[in-house]
Amino acid sequence: MRNRLKDTPVIGRKRVLLAAPRGYCAGVDRAVIAVEKALEHYGSPVYVRKQIVHNVHVVSTLEQQGAIFVDEVDEVPEGSHIVFSAHGVAPSVVAGAEARALQTIDATCPLVTKVHREAVRFAKQEQHIILIGHAGHEEVEGTMGHALDRTTLVQNPDEVDLLEIDDPDNLVWLSQTTLSVDETMETVRRLRERFPNIQNPPSDDICYATQNRQVAIKKVAKDADLVIVVGSANSSNSVRLVEVALEYGAKAAYRVDYSSEIQQEWLDGVETVGVTSGASVPEVLVDEVLAELSDAGYLDVGEVKTAEEDLMFSLPKELRKDSSGNEDARALGGRTR
Which residues are catalytic, by number?
Answer: 139
Quick check: 262 and 228 in contact, CB under 8 A? yes
Question: Per rule CB under 6 A, is residue 279 in the interface with ligand SF4?
Answer: yes
Is 235 annotated in a binding site? The answer is yes
Question: Per rule CB under 6 A, is residue 85 in the interface with ligand SF4?
Answer: no
Smaller CB separation from ligand SF4, 184 or 210? 210
Distance of alpha carbon 35 from alpha carbon 52, whole angstroms: 8
Smaller CB separation from ligand SF4, 113 or 170? 113
Quick check: 35 and 323 in contact, CB under 8 A? no
Sign of CA dihedral 321, 322, 326, 330: negative
Question: Per rule CB under 6 A, is residue 33 in the interface with ligand SF4?
Answer: no
Cα angle: 213, vertex 52, 313; to 5 degrees: 60
Question: Per rule CB under 6 A, is residue 174 in the interface with ligand SF4?
Answer: no
Smaller CB separation from ligand SF4, 62 or 207? 207
Given 5, 19, 130, 209, the residue binding ligand SF4 (CB under 6 A)? 209
Smaller CB separation from ligand SF4, 128 or 137? 137
Total residues binding ligand SF4 (CB under 6 A): 15
Question: Per rule CB under 6 A, is residue 179 in the interface with ligand SF4?
Answer: no
Q: Which positions ≥6 away from 227 have C-beta within 8 Å?
A: 217, 220, 221, 242, 245, 246, 250, 252, 253, 254, 273, 274, 275, 276
Closest CA to 16 of 304, 305, 277: 304
Question: Per rule CB under 6 A, is residue 143 in the interface with ligand SF4?
Answer: no
Question: Per rule CB under 6 A, is residue 115 in the interface with ligand SF4?
Answer: no
Given 18, 19, 22, 27, the residue binding ligand SF4 (CB under 6 A)? 27
Q: What is the DSSP letter of 3?
A: S
Q: Cα separations (Å) of 280 from 19, 138, 167, 297?
A: 15, 15, 39, 28
User: Measured from the CB of residue 213, what is the shortest distance to ligand SF4 in angstroms?
Assistant: 9
Distance of alpha carbon 47 from alpha carbon 103, whole angstroms: 10
Q: Helix, strand, coil % (nearest 5) of the chain?
A: 40, 20, 40
Residue nearest to ligand SF4 (CB): 27
Alpha-helical runs (H) found in 125-235: 138-145, 181-194, 208-221
Smaller CB separation from ligand SF4, 143 or 237? 237
Helices 110-124, 26-42: axis angle to 10 degrees equals 110
Within 218-257, which residues bind ligand SF4 (CB under 6 A)? 237
3-state secondary structure (DSSP) of residue 141: helix
Given 151, 175, 178, 277, the residue binding ligand SF4 (CB under 6 A)? 178
Given 18, 19, 26, 315, the residue binding ligand SF4 (CB under 6 A)? 26
Alpha-helical runs (H) found in the chain: 26-42, 56-65, 91-99, 110-124, 138-145, 181-194, 208-221, 236-247, 283-295
Smaller CB separation from ligand SF4, 109 or 131? 109
Question: Per rule CB under 6 A, is residue 89 in the interface with ligand SF4?
Answer: no
Single out the segment in contact with ligand SF4 by CB under 6 A; choices: 72-80, 91-99, 104-112, 192-200.
104-112
Given 51, 155, 175, 177, the residue binding ligand SF4 (CB under 6 A)? 177
Given 18, 28, 58, 147, the residue binding ligand SF4 (CB under 6 A)? 28
Question: Per rule CB under 6 A, is residue 25 in the interface with ligand SF4?
Answer: yes
Q: Which positions ≥6 away from 170 have C-beta within 8 Å?
A: 126, 127, 128
Question: Per rule CB under 6 A, is residue 104 in the interface with ligand SF4?
Answer: no
Question: Per rule CB under 6 A, is residue 109 in the interface with ligand SF4?
Answer: yes
3-state secondary structure (DSSP) of residue 71: coil
Question: Per rule CB under 6 A, is residue 111 in the interface with ligand SF4?
Answer: yes
Residues that bind ligand SF4 (CB under 6 A): 25-28, 86, 109, 111-112, 177-178, 207, 209-210, 237, 279
